[in-house]
Structure formats: structure tokens, C-alpha cells
Amino acid sequence: MPLIIKGAASSHGAQVTDNRVSETVAQVISDIRAGGDAAVRAYSEKFDKWSPASFRLTEDEIRGIVAGVPETTLDDIRTVQRNVREFAKAQRASINDFEVETLPGVFLGQRSIPVSAAGAYVPGGRYPLVASAHMTIVTAKVAGVERTVACTPPIKGEIPAATVAAMHLAGADKIYLLGGVQAVAAMAVGTESLERVDLLAGPGNAYVAEAKRQLFGEVGIDLFAGPTEILVVADEYADPFVVAVDLLSQAEHGPDSPAVLVTTSEHVARETLEHIDRLLPTMPTQDYAGPAWRDHGQVILADDLDEAYAVADGFASEHVQILTREPREALQRMRQYGALFLGEGTCVSYGDKVIGTNHTLPTRGAARYTGGLWVGKYLKTVTYQEVVNQASSAELGELCGRAARVESFEGHARSGDVRAAKYAGAELPWAPDVYRAESA
């Protein structure tokens, strides 16, 4: 049995929506649905104290903003977006259309068609999440989305220049300085100045997440995302200092971000705890990382790696980092995770910011049933059918008649009967006499 060396002070399970959040979000969506642009402006003034002449940035405004971003930052954005683009292109290339002939003259096919329009939400708030622009917009464009709308909030009344630059360089067709529920609702339901989209993507706070939940069905969404999570699996070969640094790297996302260590080494467990105690007070973000570690941090001692992997799978964590002598073993041993980070040379922060895989990943146990954002999320997998052989159509018609009548679907059965009669001379006892006479 695993031994809990440090337990979580607060529970962290499936997403439970705060009633106040739900009610506020429902009211905002309802008002924007009814009031359009005027309601969007009223909520932007209320929540962000932001009411420009137009929320949409013009091409000239975008050029001016990008020109003010340091060239080193722009080069870094281009490099990261190249990494994201290359991986997304490889994903797209792995999705193939196909057609098969299952009977003589019976052709069945599959196509992957991009949604026509996607909305990318790039959060602001305390942290301008520039990387979210890469993950949502670049991936949409590689998928072939024709129209990509991007929204990001102002930060304390200022334009987040690097975020705007990232949106522009990623290929956003329209960029709006608009945040929160009002942005998500406007993209989903449409207003006089913002044409509705088909799919929403991107992370956000509890209000944005709840807005996506309420709007799902009216539009598609990438996934429901909660607080960032990290779980490290470590053996006796792991460096406790590296383990501590990597756990805290994700704890700084917010006070409700779980950071979990599952290790087979009591030495690694104890040393990691000591390093965290020394590192936390010096972190500029310790006001987030501190409560996150205090309330949601865990250290669990497993008997062996078999147990460690089983415990890790039980968490179904968003990010799972493997710091063991043979990290690639986890590819065969684990099934429940958003993304794996294998070996000391890899860290979750690479995935968050620069390496090229998508950082929008399932949280709160959702890795049990879904992966994260990828090219495929922007694609609709559709099928088509064509029967050009009359004998095959007649055979299918007879089969359809029998199968449909088992379910008491007489209308379905008759569609099959007609083809069996027309192409193979089968009887149509239910048809009017005049039709049977004409067919004969």
C-alpha cells in the first residue's frame, strides 16, 4: 500500500460549478444574446473598465502594436509557433481520408472537414498567456479553419502587446481586445459586429470555463479545463532538487493547482520536501504557489514502480512527468494522463511554453476519457456512401427491409423494399396497385 507522506489539505475532484458563478455567467450570456454589442460593451466596462470605440483591432493598429514589441520577443514567438506548427502539421498528416468498396459497387468513404470558424480565447488577468495564442490559433490554421477569431482582455487598461503579436503571427483573421464571459458569449452567439463561430477553444478562469460549459451544444468546445495539475513519478535516480523545482513550476499557476509526487524513494520524498520549503519563500509567485502546495500538494511513497504507475493512473493528471532511470517505460505502463514528459531533460514547462505539443489539456480526471486540444478538435469526421451496382443495392434493400422491421420501422423497410423491387424484381405487397402495375 502506498504511504502518504504529505496529504492534500483540500479535496480536488471532478469540476463542481459554484452556483454564483453559474448564475452570473447565465445572466451575461442571456443579456448578450438579447442585447448584442451594447451588452458586450456594458459588461466590458463593468468587468474590465474597458470601452474603446471598437473592440476589434484594425490592421494598422495591429501593425503598430507589433512594431512596439522587442525583436527578441517576436523572434521567440516565431520560433515557438514554428514548433507548434510542425507538430500540428504532423498530426494533420496522420489523419487520412479514405474510401473502401465493401460490396461490388458499394463505396463507403470518410472525410475530415475543418470547421468553418473557430474562436480562440487567450486569457489575460494576472498572467498574459501568450502561449495560448500559439496553441489555439496555429493549430486551427493548420487544421484548415478558414476564419479564426481571437479575443484577449486588456490588462489593467493596457493592451497586451506580446499577446496581440502572437495572435497576429499565428494567423488570426480578426483580433478583439475583449475578455471574460462577454468575449466567449459574443463569439458563440454572435453580435452585430462579431459573427458567431462554430467552435470555441482556449483556457480561462472559472467564469470562462462555465461559459463554455453553458454554451456547449450551441457551439463546439475544445474541452473543459480546470486548474493546472502536475504529477511527478520518481525513482531513486531522480534529483530531488529538480523534482521540487518542477512541482513548484506548475503550482504557481494558481492557489488551486495540485502538485503531486509519487516516488519509490523515501530519500527523494524527504529531500524534495526540504527543497520546496527552501524554494517557496523566494518565489516571486509564492502567493499562488504557496497555497497551492499547502492545500493541494501531495507526496506519496510507493513500494515499487508498478505501484507508482498505478497510483499515477488513478490521478489521471493533466501533466505527468517521469523522472526515472527508464522513463520511456511509462509509455507502456500508463494510460491516464493529458501529456507525458519523459526524463530529466524534459519538463512540463517546455510543453506549456515552447516545445510544440499543445498545452490545452484535460484536468480534474478528464484524462480518463479525452486527450487535449489538437488538430483533430477542429475537424469534423464525416462519412459518405454511394451504391452504383444494382444487384448490391437490391441485396442491401432486402437486408434493410428485414432489419428495419425487427425494429418496427416500416418506413425504413419500404425504402429498402423499393430498391429490391426495382433492381431485382422483389414483390411490393404494400405498394398501391397502380405502382405495381407500372413497375411490371
What are 334-370's pLDDT values in tens digits? 999 999 999 999 999 999 999 999 999 999 999 999 9
Taking the CA of residue 308 as centre, how many other CA atoms within 13 Å lie in the half-sphere pointing to its CB? 29
Residue 225, pLDDT score = 80
Q: What is the pLDDT of residues 165-174, one digit of tens each?
A: 999 999 999 9
Cα atoms in the Cβ-side hemisphere of radius 13 Å centred on 147: 10
End-to-end CA distance of the chain: 78
Answer whether residue 224 shows pLDDT above 90: no
The one catalytic residue among 275, 319, 359, 395: 319
pLDDT at position 14 over 90: no
Rounded Cα distance between 119 and 194, Å, is 11
Q: If pLDDT is split at 50, 70 and 90, which confidence band does 377 have?
A: very high
**Which residue shows C-alpha cell 459574443?**
186
pTM of the entire structure?
Answer: 0.93
pLDDT tens per residue across span 271-295 = 999 999 999 999 999 999 999 999 9
Catalytic residue flag (residue 318): yes
Dist CA 246 CA 170 (whole Å): 28
Per-residue pLDDT of 34-79, as tens digits, reads: 999 999 999 999 999 999 999 999 999 999 999 999 999 999 999 9
The string of pLDDT tens digits covering residues 231-249 is 999 999 999 999 999 999 9
Count of beta carbons in the 10 Å neighbourhood of residue 51: 12
Question: pLDDT of 312-340, one tens digit each?
Answer: 999 999 999 999 999 999 999 999 999 99
pLDDT at 16 over 60: no
Q: What is the pLDDT of residue 128?
A: 83
161 neighbors 138 (Cβ within 8 angstroms): no
Q: Looking at residue 436, what is its pLDDT?
A: 59
pLDDT value at residue 313? 98
Contact 25, 207 (CB under 8 A): yes
Q: What is the pLDDT of residue 343?
A: 98
**Given the residues 210, 229, 318, 344, the one annotated as active site:** 318
| Cα-trace Rg, the chain | 27
- Kindly state the average pLDDT of the residues 95-115: 98
User: pLDDT band for position 147 (50/70/90)?
Assistant: very high
Amino acid in the structure at residue 13: G
One-character DSSP codes across 50-79: ---S-SBPPHHHHHHHHHTS-HHHHHHHHH
* Per-residue pLDDT, 434: 57
Q: Is the dihedral of CA 24, 26, 30, 33 positive or negative?
A: positive
Class of residue 99 by CB neighbours under 10 A (exposed 0-12, middle 13-18, buried 19+):
exposed
pLDDT class of 440 with cuts at 50, 70, 90? low
Query: Which pLDDT does position 118 carry in this prediction?
Result: 98
pLDDT for the residue 13: 55
Go through 315-349 and write b for each residue having 16 or more CB atoms within 10 A of its CB, e for each that does not.
Answer: bbbbbbbbbbeebeebeebbebbbbbbbebebbbb
Instruction: Specify the pLDDT at position 148.
Output: 98
pLDDT band at 125 (very low <50, low <70, confident <90, very high): confident
